[in-house]
Amino acid sequence: MKLEDIRRDYLSQQLDRNDLLEDPMLQFEQWFDIAKLAQLSSDPTAMVVATADARGRVSQRVVLLKSFATDGLVFYTNLRSKKAQQLADNPQCSAHFGWLPLERQVIFEGQVEFLSAAENAAYFHSRPRASQIAAWASAQSQAVADRTTLDQQYQQREQEFTQLETIPLPEHWGGIRIRPDYVEFWQGRASRLHDRFGYQRQTSGAWQITRLQP
């Protein structure tokens, strides 16, 4: 089959304005719960996060959503990583959830903020010990000679922390909150006439909901 011939129609559901909650985070929670129950993958929290450097060059990667509330979405990372450095220089971000078996997508756009040390510590110490050690062992986004070197770095840190019951929080590790001012919900429909609704935050803090052409 030719690449251009790979396609399918989206027929399972529809999305009407009356189906939507007024708060996009509550609407997201509703869709997120459905996605979890559908067991679409082993990583239901996976989202693609796009950032841009000071020159406007865009990069993206998959990260794991760790919490969300009315104030936004939270994920954690090495604060010296490429994405964290880009967000420090250009604190604008987009996050995308692609639940294609459900024929749904959700897009978030907005500014970011870095979490406090107390927030970082609370989550860091809830992680598996091996993951805590890895946060110390890996200089994320930096070049490394080979896998053996990376494994040795981990082993060195593991030995260093052998006698410690509590591994200290690295200064270079923490959380980032995406505070959306725009959220879009996409439901696939037949003949590529998809249902799309955008939530735009107003200066009053209220959300304006608009149906968008596909």
| Fold annotation for 9-127+171-211 | Pnp Oxidase; Chain A (2.30.110)
Position 41 confidence tier, pLDDT thresholds 50, 70, 90:
confident
**Confidence grade of residue 182 (pLDDT, cut at 50, 70, 90):** very high
Is residue 101 classed as helix, strand or coil in its secondary structure? helix
The token duo for 126 is 């809830």
Q: Helix crossing, 129-137 with 147-160: angle to 10°?
A: 120
Per domain, the residue ranges of the chain are: 9-127+171-211
Percent of the chain beyond pLDDT 90? 89
Q: Is 65 annotated as a binding residue?
A: yes
Least confident of 10-19, 60-69, 148-157, 188-197: 10-19
Inter-residue contact 40 to 105 (CB < 8 Å): no
pLDDT for the residue 74: 98
Whose CA is closest to 71, among 190, 198, 177?
Answer: 177
Flag whether 179 is marked binding. Answer: no
Model confidence, pTM: 0.93
Average pLDDT over residues 29-53: 91
Give tens-digit pLDDT for 79-138. 999 999 999 999 999 999 999 999 999 999 999 999 999 999 999 999 999 999 999 999
What is the tens place of the pLDDT at every residue in 49-66? 999 998 999 999 999 999
The per-residue DSSP string of 140-153 comes to: TTS--S-HHHHHHH
Phi, psi of 47 (to 5 degrees): -140, 150
Q: Give kind and range of the element (H or E) at residue 156.
A: helix 147-160
Compute the average pLDDT of residues 174-192. Answer: 97
74 is in an annotated binding site: no
Mean pLDDT, the chain, rounded, equals: 95
Among residues 104, 177, 189, 192, the one annotated as catalytic is 192
Answer yes or no: are the C-beta atoms of 78 and 173 closer than 8 Å.
Answer: yes
pLDDT at 6: 86
Lowest mean pLDDT among 9-18, 23-32, 56-65, 201-210: 9-18
Note if 57 is an active site residue: no
The answer to the question of whether 163 is labelled as a binding residue is no
Model pLDDT, residue 69: 95
What is the mean predicted confidence (pLDDT) over 199-208?
96
